[in-house]
Structure formats: C-alpha cells, structure tokens
C-alpha cells in the first residue's frame, strides 16, 4: 500500500459534491512586512470548519454498501470527529466517536450537531484506541483513523491540488502536522504536480514528535503535549504516515506558543479570519523566521476555524 497522485485525484472526484473549494487569500501588507508572497488556503471555511472533512468524506463514500450500513468509528480530539459525523450523516449511516474528556467544548458541540454518537475517555492514546476498538467490536463499524489511513491522506491532499491549480508558482507549502495525514497528502500531491516545490510540516515546539522522529530515523512517542494547539496534541505520527514524511517532506519547523497566539491574532486582525491554534502554526513559522529565505512564494494551509473562545481569549 502507498499513496499516489491517482489516489488523490480519485478522492477529488469522489468528494467534490460534499466539500467547499476554499479560497486562496493574499494580503499585500503581510507580503511587504515579511518580504515574501504568502498565499493562505482557508480550510477554516470548509464544511464542518476544517480540512478534515476532505479525508472523512473520501473514506466514508469509498465504503461499499455492506460495510457502510454498520457505520464508521474513530477517536479524535474534535475536527476529524465532526468531519466524520458529517460525512456519515450525508451517507445516512451512524458515526461512533470517541473523544478525550479534555476536548474543546466547541468541537464536542460540532460533533453533536452532525449526529455523532459520542463516548468520552481519558486523554491518552491507549485509552482512546481501546475505547474505539470496543465500539468497533460491538457495532461492526469501520475504523476511519484520523490520519493513519490512505483514504484520509488522499482526501487531505486535495487541498494542495486546489492550491496549485489556483497558484501554480508556489515554491513552498507550510502545513500543520499532528499525526501526518495532511502533510502526507500535501507532500505527495506536490511531488507529482510540481516536483521542485518544497513541503514543510509545522508543529508546536511542545509537540515536536515528528521533528524528533525524523532526527531519530524512527517513530518517537512523546508524553501528552501541553500545547494550546489541541489538534496537534498527537503523541506519535502514524505508522503509514512516517515513511511518506521521510521520503517527501523537506523538513519540520517548530514554533513557540507565543508565536501561535500572535499568529492567531494577526490573521484575525488583518485577514479577518478566525482560526484555531493548530491552524495558526504555519504563519507562526513565518513570524519566527523558521522558513529558509530562499522560498519567496509560500502557501500556508489554515487547517480549521473551530475556536473555543473560552480557552483562547
């Protein structure tokens, strides 16, 4: 098994009726201030409020009817959960969602609004996986993993395809990385559509498992990260994701919590876009000067806009 441009192209056709083709925004003031052209892919305006709807729809609508009727299941801190609940609702099948007890309230409400059946568990990966496995055994549902799934990766990669259709002359793309689904889809799409383009993952310095893993040459698991970027609090990148990241990603940039907060504020003040902390990390990397100066035309994926104001005010 692997991930190819053909998989991403198939996903693009499959999910077209169920997603928004989100805009690619620019701002001359931001460009002048940073000395490069920045192109913001606004997945915060996506259905269910995040890019995750792309992978979830691809996985759900790829199911055959026999498997689909038993439903789908996942464990997620929020955005994938809401996306999967919405995709299942569109297909008329149940979605069983395991969420950590510390999931942001806004994301819990989002899942509920799409009819997801929510079970809560302790906020660690082992407990989440065990609770999800129990539901799958009881219901016969199909697991749709938040990132360690080729269909999910392929769906996520459609955002990069749209970016390059709208702006073919990008020389770098920055995207947040938690488990690696979006990063893998983006990197594979870029490799085949524009081989010279460099793709970088960006993660909080407090949740730098992917950066550590690349340095070690193997998957590294870290304690539950304390970053405000709740969507990037993964302990370890996916088993399927890591080889793709090793082969196709130019590097991993890490950013501070202060830079994430500043990036959120600037995106709201200047672009009038409300993005969640996880979505702000690419712009945080620009603010902290983490991207090599050789890159002049840079795409940034703003992954979601499901903000819990009580946590980030």
Asked if residue 87 lies in contact with residue 59, where contact means CB atoms within 8 angstroms, the answer is yes
Residues 6+ apart with CB under 8 A from 49: 79, 82, 110, 304, 305, 306
Question: Are 40 and 110 part of one and the same domain?
Answer: no
- The yes-or-no answer on residue 52 being catalytic is yes
HSE on the CB side for 172, CA within 13 Å?
A: 25
Question: What CA–CA distance (Å, rounded) separates 146 from 149?
Answer: 7
pLDDT band for position 246 (cuts 50, 70, 90): very high
- Residue 50 pairs in a beta bridge with 304
Domain that holds residue 169: 5-51+149-312
**For the chain, what is the largest distance between any 2 Cα atoms, rounded to a whole number of angstroms?**
57
Question: Are 17 and 60 part of one and the same domain?
Answer: no
Question: What CA–CA distance (Å, rounded) separates 114 from 147?
Answer: 21
* CATH label of the domain that carries residue 65: 3.40.50.1100
Question: Are 159 and 223 part of one and the same domain?
Answer: yes
Look at residue 262 in the predicted model and tell me its pLDDT. 97
Question: What CA–CA distance (Å, rounded) separates 216 from 282?
Answer: 23
Answer yes or no: is pLDDT of 312 > 50: no
Answer yes or no: is pLDDT of 164 > 70: yes
Task: Read off the pLDDT of each residue in 202-222 and give the average, rounded to a whole number.
Answer: 97
Question: Are 82 and 196 part of one and the same domain?
Answer: no
Q: Which of 66-70, 226-230, 301-305 has the lowest mean pLDDT?
A: 226-230
Picking from 53, 85, 278, the residue whose alpha carbon sits closest to that of residue 156 is 53
Question: What CA–CA distance (Å, rounded) separates 88 from 68?
Answer: 9
Question: Are 219 and 276 part of one and the same domain?
Answer: yes
- Record the tokens describing residue 153, joined without a space: 């990766």
Q: Which of 18-32, 261-275, 298-312 has the lowest mean pLDDT?
A: 298-312
Query: How does the average pLDDT of the chain come out, rounded?
Result: 94
Picking from 67, 108, 106, the residue whose alpha carbon sits closest to that of residue 88 is 67
Per-residue pLDDT reduced to its tens digit, 86-117: 999 999 999 999 998 988 788 888 899 999 99
Question: What CA–CA distance (Å, rounded) separates 183 from 192?
Answer: 15
Question: What CA–CA distance (Å, rounded) separates 58 from 150?
Answer: 10
pLDDT band for position 1 (cuts 50, 70, 90): low
Look at residue 104 in the predicted model and tell me its pLDDT. 79
Which among 115, 143, 171 is the end of a domain?
A: 143
- Phi-psi sector, 48: left (phi>0), alpha (psi -120 to 50), beta: left
**Considering the chain, what percentage of its residues have pLDDT values greater than 70?**
98
Question: Are 46 and 58 part of one and the same domain?
Answer: no
Question: Are 270 and 129 part of one and the same domain?
Answer: no
Answer yes or no: is pLDDT of 313 > 90: no
Question: What CA–CA distance (Å, rounded) separates 69 from 65?
Answer: 6
- The yes-or-no answer on residue 2 being catalytic is no
Sign, CA torsion 36/209/151/129: negative
pLDDT band for position 161 (cuts 50, 70, 90): very high
Look at residue 35 in the predicted model and tell me its pLDDT. 87
SS3 call for 101:
coil
Question: Are 37 and 57 part of one and the same domain?
Answer: no
Which among 99, 127, 143 is the end of a domain?
A: 143
pTM to 2 decimals? Answer: 0.95
Question: Are 62 and 89 part of one and the same domain?
Answer: yes
25-34, 68-77, 122-131, 301-310 — most confident range:
68-77
pLDDT band for position 149 (cuts 50, 70, 90): very high
Answer yes or no: is pLDDT of 187 > 60: yes
Pick the more confident residue, 76 or 247: 247
How many domains, the chain? 2
Question: Are 294 and 215 part of one and the same domain?
Answer: yes
Which helix or strand (DSSP H or E) is residue 261 part of?
helix 257-270
pLDDT band for position 309 (cuts 50, 70, 90): low
Answer yes or no: is pLDDT of 5 > 90: yes
Question: Are 173 and 286 part of one and the same domain?
Answer: yes
Quick count: other Cβ atoms within 10 Å of Cβ 65? 8
Which among 143, 162, 196 is the end of a domain?
A: 143
Catalytic residue among 2, 9, 41, 52: 52
Look at residue 276 in the predicted model and tell me its pLDDT. 94
**Considering the chain, what percentage of its residues have pLDDT values greater than 90?**
83
Answer yes or no: is pLDDT of 122 > 80: yes
Look at residue 39 in the predicted model and tell me its pLDDT. 97
Rg (C-alpha) for the chain, rounded Å, is 18
SS3 call for 99:
strand
Per-residue pLDDT reduced to its tens digit, 221-231: 998 889 999 88
Catalytic residue among 41, 76, 77, 191: 77
Task: Give the single-character DSSP code of 223.
Answer: S
Answer yes or no: is pLDDT of 81 > 80: yes
- Record the tokens describing residue 310, joined without a space: 């009580």
Picking from 16, 1, 299, the residue whose alpha carbon sits closest to that of residue 148 is 1
Question: Are 34 and 182 part of one and the same domain?
Answer: yes
Alpha-carbon distances of 37 from 29, 31, 75, 170, rounded to whole Å: 10, 5, 37, 9
């Amino acid at each position: 098994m692997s991930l190819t441009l053909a998989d991403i192209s198939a996903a693009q056709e499959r999910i077209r009726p169920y997603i928004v083709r989100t805009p690619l925004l620019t701002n001359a003031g931001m460009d002048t201030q940073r000395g490069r052209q920045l192109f913001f892919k606004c997945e915060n305006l996506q259905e269910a409020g995040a890019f995750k709807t792309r992978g979830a729809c691809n996985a759900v609508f790829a199911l055959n009817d026999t498997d689909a009727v038993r439903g789908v299941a996942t464990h997620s801190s929020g955005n994938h959960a809401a996306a999967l609940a919405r995709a299942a609702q569109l297909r008329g099948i149940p979605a069983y969602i395991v969420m950590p007890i510390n999931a942001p309230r806004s994301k819990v409400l989002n899942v509920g609004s799409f009819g997801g059946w929510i079970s809560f568990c302790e906020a660690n990966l082992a407990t989440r996986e065990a609770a999800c496995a129990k539901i799958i055994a009881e219901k016969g549902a199909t697991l749709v993993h938040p990132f360690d799934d080729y269909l999910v990766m392929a769906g996520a990669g459609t955002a990069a395809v749209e970016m390059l259709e709208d702006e073919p002359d990008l020389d770098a793309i920055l995207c947040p990385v938690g488990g690696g689904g979006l990063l893998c889809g983006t990197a594979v799409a870029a490799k085949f559509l524009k081989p010279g383009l460099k793709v970088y993952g960006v993660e909080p310095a407090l949740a730098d498992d992917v950066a550590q893993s690349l340095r070690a040459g193997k998957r590294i698991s870290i304690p539950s990260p304390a970053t405000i970027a709740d969507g990037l609090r993964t302990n370890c990148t996916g088993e399927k994701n890591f080889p793709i990241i090793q082969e196709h990603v130019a590097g991993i940039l890490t950013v501070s919590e202060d830079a994430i907060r500043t990036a959120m504020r600037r995106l709201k003040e200047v672009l009038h876009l409300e993005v969640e902390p996880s979505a702000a990390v690419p712009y945080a990397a620009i603010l902290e000067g983490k991207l090599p100066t050789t890159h002049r035309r840079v795409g940034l994926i703003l992954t979601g806009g499901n903000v819990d104001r009580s946590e980030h005010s």
